[in-house]
Amino acid sequence: MSETTEERIDRHAARGGIGTPTFEPRTRDGWIFLAGLLLFWVVYNGPPVPELAGIDLRLGMAGPASSNAWKWLGALLLIALVLWGERRGLASLLITKPTSKDIEWAFSAFGGVMAWSWIASLVAPQEENSGVATITSMSIAGVLLLIVTAAVTEEVAFRGYLQERLGSLLHSRWIGAAVSLVIFIAPHVVFFGPSWLFHQLVGTLALVAFTLIRRNLVATMLLHFLINAPILIPTVLAKL
């Protein structure tokens, strides 16, 4: 399918400077954004109630795994809203083919985050907490699915949609990034405890900075996956 003029404009705008909005908002975008926020809630929190009319909305699952299907559904509906509601292309979500440089930067950023994690573990080893215990008690396959789900759906919701839409509506990518960052941090602190900030905030800041600089969500998803992947180590050890 050939690229439309508007999609081409969006694609070039998405690659603009760090502070440049992804696109020039139209009058209807504010109303569409309200619908997007409802879908964002699905990715952020899963189903609003455990069951409806006797139907188990968590599909018989408990813990973090219960929201996996809802995160995928919410992310796909957000993409559908952008394509058919906003009439914008995937590039407006920063979903484009990554370059070899994007991939190289993702691995370099991961190396920096891991270096900080090592230093942080020497300065103040992370305390045992219920959040980590909950994840490591899951099966290895379950944790891997959780990591992939978070890397893909959270990047679509937080960086691709919320950060970029707020950035364009408020004419500042910095504001969009700051608001998205705060909302992203909150549930992680609640789940993993305050020590998460010292050990993992650097990784979250790396995701935000990487998205602002490289402007490629697929590469950001890779970085997100790499940053979360080490949780597999205590999961495997727990099984042994």
Q: How far is CA 125 from CA 50, 69, 115, 137, 190, in A?
A: 36, 33, 14, 20, 19
Q: How far apart are CA 210 and CA 222, in angstroms?
A: 11
Model pLDDT, residue 23: 85
What are the mean pLDDT values of the chain's consecutive 10-residue runs (240 residues total)? 57 66 86 94 78 68 78 95 95 96 98 95 81 88 95 97 95 94 93 89 97 96 97 86
Q: Which tokens hold the place of 119?
A: 């230093």
| Paired strand residues for 110 | none
> Between vectors from CA 225 to CA 223 and to CA 228, what angle results, nearest 5°?
110
Per DSSP, the residues of the chain read -PPPHHHHHHHHHHTS-TTS-SS---TTHHHHHHHHHHHHHHHHH--SSSEETTEETTTT--GGGGGHHHHHHHHHHHHHIIIIIS---GGGGT--PPPHHHHHHHHHHHHHHHHHHHHHHHHSPPPP-HHHHHHHTS-HHHHHHHHHHIIIIIIIIIIIIIIHHHHHHTT-HHHHHHHHHHHHHHHHHHHH-THHHHHHHHHHHHHHHHHHHH--HHHHHHHHHHHHGGGHHHHHHHH-
> Between vectors from CA 65 to CA 180 and to CA 211, what angle results, nearest 5°?
25
Model pLDDT, residue 139: 92
- 40 neighbors 161 (Cβ within 8 angstroms): yes
Model pLDDT, residue 27: 87
Model pLDDT, residue 3: 60
Burial grade of 20 (CB within 10 A; 0-12, 13-18, 19 or more): middle
Q: Which of 9, 22, 7 is nearest to 211 (CA)?
A: 22
Model pLDDT, residue 61: 65
Q: How far apart are CA 181 and CA 18, in angstroms?
A: 16
Model pLDDT, residue 57: 65
Model pLDDT, residue 218: 98
Model pLDDT, residue 5: 54
Give pTM, 2 decimals: 0.89
